[in-house]
Chain A
Amino acid sequence: MTGEIVALPYERPALAQALGADYEERLLAAHHWMTLARELDSRMLGLQRQGRIGFYGPATGQEAVSVAAGLASRPEDWIVPGLREQLVALVRGHSLARYVHHLFANDRDPARGRQMPCHPTAREVKYVSMSSVVGTQITHAVGIAYGLKLRKDTGVALAFFGDGATSANDFHAGLNFAAVLSLPVLFCLTNNQWAISVPVERQTHVKELAMKGSAYGIPSRRVDGTDFVACYATFAEGLEAARASPGPLLAEFLLYRMTPHSSSDDPSRYQAPDWMAHALAHDPVRRMEELLTRLGILSDAAHTSVREEATRLVKEAIAEAESVGAPTPESMFTDILASGPLPVPPRSEPA
């Protein structure tokens, strides 16, 4: 990619303050994950075009938020995701191999190929299953937070959703319930400025979506969602605050959707050509790389090695997933109820 980027405004003291004394290690870890995510998006969109997977919803442009959430959260925190948060599960320890099995909807997909790709479940890292309905997960985070508070559990529920979800019923119900009941929820609003083809200006009449949090009595702020350091500081501070004194907080992460909504979308129908130029200047991965290079902690050789490692990991996971067959037909009929008769095909049809 070419073109100017907007540099991250940090020197070493500010980084130590935001990320801790081991900030170099943290930045390099974040860069590893961002590079892997970018490689995954690029390969998977390609595989979808070749018909090797059925669908893909890339998170290109949103990596800083997901990686920051994954690194700043603790094992006892719950992740209640939207469409573009799979990276949070991976950073928290969900295996890449399992995730790619899910993308291929094969027999080793933990959910037996029942959902479209990019809808993984990862209970082992408290990553909750999502539907494709926009916003319904927001109230689930509220209920989880109720349990956390009732049981004096130190975890926090992180609810992820986009700008489009702020128009949906459960956004309003969820924020209101969490505020009235003083629950430890971090509402993570990833404002990528598009709900498929509808720009955020057509989604709301308020100047900043964070104002909607304030309207419910929830401390709310807007954050540069393409700045990993700012995102990490926001999560670290927000999670600590919610743990210390249970109550909701809202962060609006302003960022750019740098790809189509999904593999089924064509932004040339609705997006001005210069929009992407602006987005590219805020590419979170390139901003991170510029920072690391400027600080002298990522040599060209090391950068190449990080990229090669990401390529290898993704390639291996794809090869493994493609060696596994489709889910068994019987799996259509299981996991519906814990008890009760299993549904069976009508006897006039071949089983």
Chain B
Amino acid sequence: MSELTLVQAVNRGLQQAMHDDGDVILLGEDIGLNGGVFRATDGLQKEFGAERVIDTPLSETGIVGTAIGMALYGLKPVPEIQFQDFIYPAFDQIVSELAKFRYRSGGQYPCHVVIRAPYGGGVKGGLYHSQSAEAYFAHTAGLKVVIPSTPADAKGLLLSSIYDEDPVLFFEPKRIYRAVSGEVPEGDYRVPLGEARVAREGSDLSVFAYGAMVHPALQAAESLAADGPSVEVVDLRTLAPLDEKTVLASVEKTGRAVIVHEAPRFCGYGAELGSLFAEKALFSLKAPIVRVTGYDTPFPYALEHLYLPNAPRIVHAIRETMAAG
């Protein structure tokens, strides 16, 4: 075990995979000599060489398209998109190609690429260094979408993603790259994909969150511990495929659901969770489902503190839900 920040845990996960498996190749902008703008790949080019840690020209479609070709050949490419906000030039490659290779080839060409991208707000990044685009990808059949919230999960989920056989979008909450640290197991530590984590047990209400939002959700729950409701916090960890069993078990137990994410509300990931609860757990619900999310606006620069959900907003939603029934 070592005490690591989340970005250090990502780095150790990549290092472990590159050490254990010569097929693992990293490619992206500024990831080699510079070690990535967030230093997620720091030291890896020096350790594994420029053939396996590639500084590419500036083109996201080029990065992802090339990674797809590497995977078709049989390598295990892990491209980095410098900020998730810049993934859109590669959207065509991800949605039209990566997600569909296995299906359209009848299984002849599986295409295993793990795309890493820092995402989310809270770092004063404005419209183009703050977005949460997970719903676009969770909507697309053929992709897995994974978002860690702790250093241990960052390493464990990343290694599981690299040794999975399916395309994975691995989104890293940049706001807590350094703000959160924790014990991380050594070696080839893996956390299975497709399993949500009950981060805090409770009996009166369930808060569903992922990525950076798990932390204000936990703060909100703790702040109510003394004299408020008993709040459960479920960290989704894998958005696609969703661990329906764990989330339904939680909402059936508590009968109340608050869903938290940074992304805008309209057609956000919370809409899917809400529909799931309406379809499969309606008669367990004691109160309307409440969503605490970013607003249906572009991501603002000066006012990001008002845009992002935080513990007080979550506490308010919890109280509102408890009051409703």
- Using CB atoms, name the residue of chain A closest to B242: A341
Residue B164 at the chain A interface, CB threshold 8 Å: yes
Question: Which chain B residue has the least Cβ–Cβ distance from A109?
Answer: B106
Interface positions of B from 57 to 102, Cβ below 8 Å from A: 57, 59, 61-62, 64-75, 77, 89, 92-93, 96-97, 100-102
* Least distance between A100 CB and chain B CB atoms (Å): 16
A129 CA to B71 CA in the complex, in Å? 13
Total chain B interface residues with beta-carbon distance under 8 A? 47
Smallest CB separation, B60 vs chain A (Å):
9
Contact of B97 among A133, A150, A174, A181 (CB under 8 A): A133
One of B107-115, B150-158, B263-271, B313-321 at the interface: B107-115
CA distance A183 to B135 in the complex (A): 35
Kindly list chain A residues whose C-beta atoms are within 8 Å of the C-beta of B103. Answer: 114, 335-336
Q: List chain A residues, Cβ under 8 A from B93.
A: 136, 139, 170
In the complex, which residues of chain B have a beta carbon less than 8 angstroms from the beta carbon of A111? Answer: 104-106, 108
List residues of chain A with CB within 8 A of the CB of B222.
none
Q: Is A110 an interface residue (CB 8 A)?
A: yes
Q: Which residues of B contact A157 (CB under 8 A)?
A: 69
Q: Is the CB of B144 within 8 A of A337?
A: yes
Taking CB atoms, residues of chain A closer than 8 Å to B165 are 338-339
On chain A, the residues within 8 Å of B67 by CB distance are 143
> CB distance B102 to A335 under 8 Å?
yes
A343 at the interface (CB under 8 A from B): yes
Question: Which residues of B38-57 are within 8 A (CB) of A?
Answer: 51, 54, 56-57
Tell whether A170 pairs with B102 under 8 Å between CB atoms, given A133-B96, A335-B107.
no
**Which of chain A's residues has its CB closest to B75's CB?**
A147
Q: Min CB distance, A129 to chain B, in Å?
A: 4
A143 and B68 contacting across the interface, CB-CB below 8 Å: yes
Say yes or no: A121-B108 contact (C-beta < 8 A), given A139-B65, A174-B62, A338-B165: yes
Query: Which of B25, B56, B73, B77 has the most CB atoms of chain A within a 10 A radius of its CB?
Result: B73
A285: interface (CB < 8 Å)? no
A114, A143, A147, A150: the one within 8 Å of B104 (CB): A114
Q: How far is the CB of B317 from chain A (nearest CB, A)?
A: 29
> Counting CB contacts under 8 A, is B202 at the interface?
no
Interface size on A, residues (CB 8 A): 49
- In this assembly, does B204 line the interface, its C-beta being within 8 Å of a C-beta of chain A? no
Mask of A170-196 contacts with B, CB within 8 angstroms, 1/0:
101110110011000000000000000
A173 near B144 (CB under 8 angstroms)?
no
Q: A129-B101, A143-B71 are in contact. Are A338 and B62 (CB under 8 A)?
A: no
Docked complex Cα distance between A78 and B104 (Å): 18
Asked whether any CB of chain B lies closer than 8 Å to the CB of A251, the reply is: no
A128 adjacent to chain B (CB < 8 Å): yes
Please state if A170 and B101 are interface contacts (CB–CB under 8 Å).
Answer: no
Q: Is B194 an interface residue (CB 8 A)?
A: yes
Any A CB within 8 A of the CB of B241? yes
- B148 at the A/B interface (Cβ < 8 Å)? no
Q: In whole angstroms, how far apart are the Cα atoms of A144 and B25 in the complex? A: 13
Give Cα A145–Cα B75 distance, bound, in whole angstroms. Answer: 11
Nearest CB of chain A from residue B114's CB, rounded to whole Å: 14
CB nearest to B51 among chain A residues = A150
CB distance from A173 to the nearest CB of B (A): 3
CB pair B69–A143 under 8 Å, yes or no, is: yes
Please give the distance in Å from A217's CB to the nearest CB on chain B.
Answer: 12
A177 touching B241 by the CB < 8 A rule? no
- Are A121 and B65 in contact (CB-based, < 8 A)? no
B54 x A181 contact (CB < 8 A)? yes
Which A223-267 residues have C-beta < 8 A from chain B? Answer: none
Chain A, 133-173, CB within 8 A of any chain B CB: 133, 136, 138-148, 150-151, 157, 169-170, 172-173
Asked whether any CB of chain A lies closer than 8 Å to the CB of B141, the reply is: yes
Known A-B contacts A139-B61, A144-B72, A147-B75; A121 and B66 likewise in contact (beta carbons under 8 Å): no
Query: Lowest 3 CB-CB distances: which A-B pairs, in order?
Result: A143-B69, A139-B65, A147-B73
Interface positions of B (Cβ within 8 A of A): 25, 51, 54, 56-57, 59, 61-62, 64-75, 77, 89, 92-93, 96-97, 100-110, 141-142, 144, 164-166, 193-194, 241, 244
Question: Would you mind naming 21 contact pairs between A and B with Cβ atoms under 8 Å apart?
Answer: A110-B105, A110-B106, A110-B108, A114-B103, A121-B106, A123-B105, A139-B64, A139-B93, A143-B69, A143-B77, A145-B69, A146-B69, A147-B70, A148-B73, A150-B25, A169-B92, A173-B57, A176-B57, A176-B59, A180-B57, A336-B103
**Told that A139-B64, A147-B69, A176-B59 touch, could you supply 20 new A-B pairs with CB distance under 8 A?**
A80-B69, A115-B104, A121-B106, A123-B109, A128-B109, A129-B108, A131-B104, A133-B92, A133-B96, A139-B93, A140-B97, A143-B67, A170-B65, A170-B93, A174-B62, A174-B66, A335-B102, A336-B103, A340-B193, A340-B241
